[in-house]
Amino acid sequence: MDEQAPVSADYPRRVRYRAGLVGERQRVVHIAMPLACGDFLALCELRLAAAEAEEISDLLGMPCMVCTRVLALRSRTPVSEQARPQIGAG
Ligand SMILES: [Zn+2]
């Protein structure tokens, strides 16, 4: 079993460190997938232990810029040729 494998790829969760574990500045909200072991693996490759993570349902907090960027890149559906302008067709 690969413990890195996400339990559910439905949608990413928003998680951050619980208060008191790290400085407020590091409590940015990551976009993360839950792992089989209960930990979260953020798009920025930070791994948050289940005990250290707090899940956020609302759009609260300062987003992790790396996670945000990775998510944006991912959601841009790769390579549809239809999206490209047809050059020389005519
Ligand atoms: Zn992040």
What digits encode the pLDDT tens for the residues 24-66? Answer: 888 999 999 999 999 999 999 999 999 999 999 877 789 999 9
**Mean pLDDT score across all residues of the chain:** 81
3 domain-assigned? no
59 domain-assigned? yes
| Contact predicate 42/15, CB 8 Å | yes
- Domain span at residue 21 reads 13-74
CA of 33 to the centre of ligand 1 (A): 11
CA of 70 to the centre of ligand 1 (A): 9
DSSP designation for 68: H
Give the pLDDT score at 24. Answer: 86
Q: Answer left, alpha or beta for residue 7, where phi above 0 means left and psi between -120 and 50 means alpha.
A: alpha
82 domain-assigned? no
Give the residue carrying structure tokens 């339990």: 7
CA of 54 to the centre of ligand 1 (A): 14
| Contact predicate 59/32, CB 8 Å | no
Give the pLDDT score at 81. Answer: 47
Give me the number of domains the chain comprises: 1
44 domain-assigned? yes
79 domain-assigned? no
29 domain-assigned? yes
CA of 66 to the centre of ligand 1 (A): 5
CA of 82 to the centre of ligand 1 (A): 32
Q: What are 5-22's pLDDT values in tens digits?
A: 555 555 688 999 999 999
